[in-house]
A and B are shown apart, each in its own frame.
With several copies, the nearest count.
Chain A
Amino acid sequence: MILAKIHVTLKKSVLDPQGVAISEALHSMGYPHVESARLGKYLELRLDDRGRSKNELQAQVKDMCERLLANTVIEHYEFELQAIPS
């Protein structure tokens, strides 16, 4: 079994209204030294790798990100694969 850990974050140039709200909330809670906050998504996919090479899975996860998991107009993604016991 393979675990794909995927991070999807807003591109730097895109304003992150939730991140802004979080950092403001943290300021008002007494953490003035929070300079900024950005909120993204973290996905974990469990993939059955029987009969599939690591390269193939790598290419597939990239496809999944491009097609569905991230909106590349505004988002940026990164992932890593990790073998786990099934």
Chain B
Amino acid sequence: MRFSVLTFPGSNCDHDCWHALKNVLRQKVDLVWHKEARLPQGTDCVVVPGGFSYGDYLRCGAIARFSPVMAAVRAHAGRGGLVIGICNGFQILTESGLLPGALLRNRSLKFLCETVHLRVENASTPFSRLARGGRVLAVPIAHGEGNYTCDAETLRHLEDRGQVVFRYCEEDGAVTPRANPNGSLENIAGIVNQAGNVLGMMPHPERVCETEMGGTDGRLIFESMLDALTAKG
């Protein structure tokens, strides 16, 4: 499978995603500079990585969304291609309108880096199909603005259509206010668009793909994508 990992000025998890996909999952990966108007031929999946695109100045992801490559990403998504936005990537996708809602400052107003637990809420998306519903994953977060919000109607749609894929939870899977690291609405950690091919999540799966990095739960997300792509043929 072929992955395109985008690099914006200020991206800093692009190489981590590249490493996980290339050296751990042994896939074809291109780093794609944001000025490119087109994605490399044969791109199956676009990764919008974490970092501080354009310094996160003005608002996280606000300026990156105007990069030339984003038009190509939109087209790719429109064709049903897979797109995963991680952390700053999630912010860029909401700013671009590819995903609903917005990400506000963490409730604590502090940047927070730690491992959290995620309950898989919908195991039928291309990003979670190798998990059982209710499975708990341990994945780190590292962000200052991951406090997901949207209006009541959007929330209802998200819930009704199973677009909430991951929720912050306790180690045993209980979704509690204590398990919510940033104040996100309904403990939301990751959502998909209505078509199900675009995922945004605040936690960093690429950081937990190797045992020595403290866990491999992140692989499940990438492997689900590979599985979905294979199934699609």
Complex: how many Å from CA A39 to CA B57? Answer: 10
User: B62 to A17, Cβ gap below 8 A?
Assistant: no
Chain A: residues with Cβ within 8 Å of the partner, total of 16
User: A39 to B58, Cβ gap below 8 A?
Assistant: yes
User: A21 to B66, Cβ gap below 8 A?
Assistant: no
User: B104 to A68, Cβ gap below 8 A?
Assistant: no
Query: Interface-forming stretch among B19-27, B128-136, B143-151, B156-164?
Result: B143-151
**Chain B 168-186 residues near chain A, CB threshold 8 A:** 183
Contact A25-B66, Cβ < 8 Å, known A14-B104, A17-B55: yes
Judge whether B109 is part of the interface by a CB distance below 8 angstroms.
yes
**Chain B 52-104 residues near chain A, CB threshold 8 A:** 54-55, 57-59, 62-63, 66, 94-95, 100-102, 104
User: A74 to B105, Cβ gap below 8 A?
Assistant: no
Q: What residues on B are CB-neighbors of A39 within 8 Å?
A: 57-58
**Chain A 47-86 residues near chain B, CB threshold 8 A:** 68-69, 71, 73-74
Q: Give the B-binding residues of A (Cβ under 8 A).
A: 13-15, 17-18, 21-22, 25, 28-29, 39, 68-69, 71, 73-74
